[in-house]
Amino acid sequence: MKPGLWRGRDLLSMLDLSAEEIVMVLDYAAVLKEMQRRGESHPWLAGKTLAMIFHKPSTRTRISFEVAMNQLGGYSLFLGPGELQLGRWKEMADMARVLSRYVEGIAVRTFGQEIAEELAHHATVPVINGLTDREHPCQILADLLTIREHKGRLEGIRAAYVGDGNNVAHSLMLACPRVGMDLVVATPPAYRPEPDVVAAAREMAARSGTRLELLDDPVAAVSDADVVFTDVWASIGKEAEAAERERVFRPYQVNADLVRYARPDYMFLHCLPARRGEEVTDEVIDGPASFVWDAAENRLHVQKALLALTMGE
């Protein structure tokens, strides 16, 4: 696969990738992972710089993007909270224009999806969504790669997501129907995914003939699941709601009692960091069904694929 095949393209949402393009990213990531394992250099972004705008802190996202650029022969420039004053739309537009004169790509980890979209609208270099409140596409691509590695396929896999109807749930809903996976999402009624995401996902599921369900019952969601996902109950920016969320979400904890309803060879996935004892127990995340560490590694390989495809020559 040729670096730069998607030169200049943005990745802001799972909606930006067709089913064929999702598979292309996974295939490319698998090739890069094998090259790294063999010690084969691949400096396809030599001399190129990635600006990383992080309004939200993250250890894994920062390290994986920085290592990705290093392994591709390029350079990363971290711009953390307070280093860029982007409080107004005009400031974001101007910064996008300026950065486009300095760097060959931008990764953004921020709050509103509209911030990433505004940066992409005014930038003349590719913008990759490292996380917004609405979506987490890089994580879901890494999860799909992990599932394919261990299950040998994506089509026909039955996935369950239990917890908050947040960015992880949104990106899963927009990805699973495209790759032939069934998905059941269990959330408390007041914490369901956004209606427009639900509508888009249901339309995709109808076209692909896959199952997409939204339930209140975590046991029903997890029953016979091949893969079980969860995420923190209070994402960054929701800390003030933590006590109330802990009360509401307690029945949605992924623990030994819940996962016994899944298939015996089920996989557990979590985007990390995990709040052990809240959304997941130690016995699950540290157990033999846990593949969260593989998925964390695969963030590196997926992001390398995206960077090479969008920033390469």
Q: Does 85 participate in catalysis according to the annotation?
A: no
**Is there a catalytic annotation at residue 138?**
no
Bridge partners, 129 (sequence order): 108
CA distance 168 to 56: 16
136 counts as catalytic: yes
Residue-wise DSSP of the chain: --TTTTTT--B-SGGGS-HHHHHHHHHHHHHHHHHHHHT----TTTT-EEEEEESS--HHHHHHHHHHHHHTT-EEEEE-BTTB---SHHHHHHHHHHHHHH-SEEEEE-S-HHHHHHHHHH-SS-EEEEE-SS--HHHHHHHHHHHHHHHS-STT-EEEEES--SHHHHHHHHHGGGGT-EEEEE--GGGPPPHHHHHHHHHHHHHHT--EEEES-HHHHHTT-SEEEE--SS-TT-GGGHHHHHHHHGGG-B-HHHHTTS-TT-EEEE-S---BTTTB-HHHHTSTTB-HHHHHHHHHHHHHHHHHHHH--
Please confirm, yes or no, whether 299 is among the known catalytic residues.
yes
Which of the residues 231, 245, 270, 303 is marked catalytic? 231
User: Among residues 109, 170, 178, 245, which one is catalytic?
Assistant: 109
Whether 231 is catalytic is yes
Catalytic position from the list 122, 134, 139, 176: 139
Which candidate in 133, 245, 271, 303 is catalytic? 271
Catalytic status, residue 176: no
In the numeric block, the tokens 């309803």 are attached to: 261
Active site residues: 109, 136, 139, 231, 271, 299
